């Protein structure tokens, strides 16, 4: 069982508090589907409210820390060595359509000895399944499956080493995003040589599920830091290899590939 640090306890409490409103509002989405204007504005309010709850709780428990927020942008703190990176609702389109596959993602960056800040703690929480994926640098990655009451369990990536037996996940560029032609070539290369490709609509959960061995690998381009900051740490601490498809810092570039050691080369060959 993981021994939760003070900061991880604070982060998990903030995520769980924000999740209550998301669940309550999600239960209203189905009724809003028949409305002429649709539930988009309603979901946007739910997203922003969840972010407000997270920020309020983290600021109370860690005053002075900065923030990088999907909705609210950057908030400079008096403590320049710490910054939370928050996505209050990863999988907004799923939420909008009443699909129960979305997550809260919170990461913490820390500057150590004057070096550039690095991710030192992260969590991804699916309120619907009550699965909390979390990790701290150097301490391993875990899942707390509250629904089944099994306590904390260490995450391990898949050990498959045969590409044709492997299942991968990805994200598809949507309206207004570039890269459709390149993506279709990559998809053709992977799906034509593997057991399949899934696109479930949450990069945070894609990384968490790869860390848990449910997927054998994941790749996507053009992601924002709040989409993947927590997931990158969780996947690495679980034992996955995580790289940028375009070189440099993967959280900054947003072009990510994540899999086990055996599958990295063949997957990169097809999508690199």
User: How would DSSP label each residue in 228-269?
Assistant: HHHHHHHHHHHT-EEEETTSS-HHHH--EEEE-HHHHHHHHH
Q: Which two tokens stand for residue 9?
A: 């306890």
- Of the residues 106, 130, 154, the one at which a domain ends: 154
How much is the pLDDT for 124? Answer: 98
Note down the domain range covering 248.
Answer: 163-271
Domain check: are 134 and 243 in the same one? no
Domain check: are 38 and 78 in the same one? yes
Domain check: are 39 and 130 in the same one? yes
Q: Tell me the backbone φ, ψ of residue 143, rounded to 5 degrees.
A: -125, 135
Domain check: are 74 and 117 in the same one? yes
User: Does residue 74 belong to any structural domain of this protein?
Assistant: yes
Domain check: are 24 and 144 in the same one? yes
Condensed to tens digits (0 to 9), the pLDDT of residues 225-269 reads 999 999 999 999 999 999 999 999 999 999 999 999 999 999 999
- Of the residues 103, 123, 154, the one at which a domain ends: 154
User: Does residue 174 belong to any structural domain of this protein?
Assistant: yes
User: Does residue 1 belong to any structural domain of this protein?
Assistant: no
- Rg, the chain, Cα only: 18
What average pLDDT does this structure show over 27-53? 74
Domain check: are 20 and 129 in the same one? yes
Torsion, Cα of 188, 192, 193, 195 (10° steps): 110
Contact between 125 and 89 under an 8 Å Cβ cutoff? The reply is no
The angle that helices 225-238 and 203-211 make with each other, rounded to 10 degrees, is 0
Cα 271 from Cα 120, distance rounded (Å): 28
- Of the residues 154, 175, 207, the one at which a domain ends: 154
Contact between 227 and 171 under an 8 Å Cβ cutoff? The reply is no
Distances (CA, A) of 178 to 88, 164, 198, 222: 25, 29, 20, 9
- How many distinct structural domains can be found in the chain? 2
CATH code for position 238: 3.40.190.80
Condensed to tens digits (0 to 9), the pLDDT of residues 62-118 reads 999 999 999 889 999 999 999 999 999 999 989 988 899 999 999 999 998 888 889
What average pLDDT does this structure show over 12-34? 86
* pTM of the predicted protein model: 0.93
Condensed to tens digits (0 to 9), the pLDDT of residues 133-175 reads 999 999 999 999 765 556 799 999 999 999 999 999 999 987 7
Cα 103 from Cα 123, distance rounded (Å): 10
């Amino acid at each position: 069982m993981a021994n939760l640090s003070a900061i991880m306890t604070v982060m998990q409490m903030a995520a769980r508090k924000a999740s209550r409103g998301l669940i309550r509002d999600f239960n209203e989405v189905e009724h809003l589907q028949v409305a002429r204007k649709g539930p988009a504005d309603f979901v946007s309010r739910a997203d922003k409210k969840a972010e407000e709850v997270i920020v309020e709780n983290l600021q109370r428990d860690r005053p002075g820390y900065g923030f990088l927020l999907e909705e609210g942008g950057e908030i400079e703190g008096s403590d320049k060595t710490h910054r939370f990176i928050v996505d209050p609702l990863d999988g907004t389109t799923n939420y909008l359509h009443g699909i129960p596959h979305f997550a809260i993602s919170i990461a913490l960056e820390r500057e150590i000895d004057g070096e550039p800040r690095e991710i030192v703690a992260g969590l991804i929480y699916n309120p619907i399944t009550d699965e909390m994926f979390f990790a701290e640098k150097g301490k391993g990655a875990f899942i707390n499956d509250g629904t089944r009451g099994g306590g904390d369990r260490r995450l391990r990536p898949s050990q498959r080493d045969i590409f044709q037996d492997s299942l991968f996940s990805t994200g598809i560029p949507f309206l207004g995003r570039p890269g459709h032609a390149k993506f279709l070539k990559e998809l053709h290369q992977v799906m034509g040589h593997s057991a399949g490709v899934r696109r479930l609509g949450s990069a945070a959960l894609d990384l968490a599920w790869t860390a848990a061995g449910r997927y054998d690998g994941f790749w996507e381009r053009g992601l924002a830091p709040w989409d993947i900051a927590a997931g990158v740490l969780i996947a690495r601490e679980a034992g996955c290899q995580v790289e940028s498809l375009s070189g440099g810092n993967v959280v900054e570039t947003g072009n990510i590939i994540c899999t086990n050691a055996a599958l990295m080369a063949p997957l990169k060959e097809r999508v690199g």
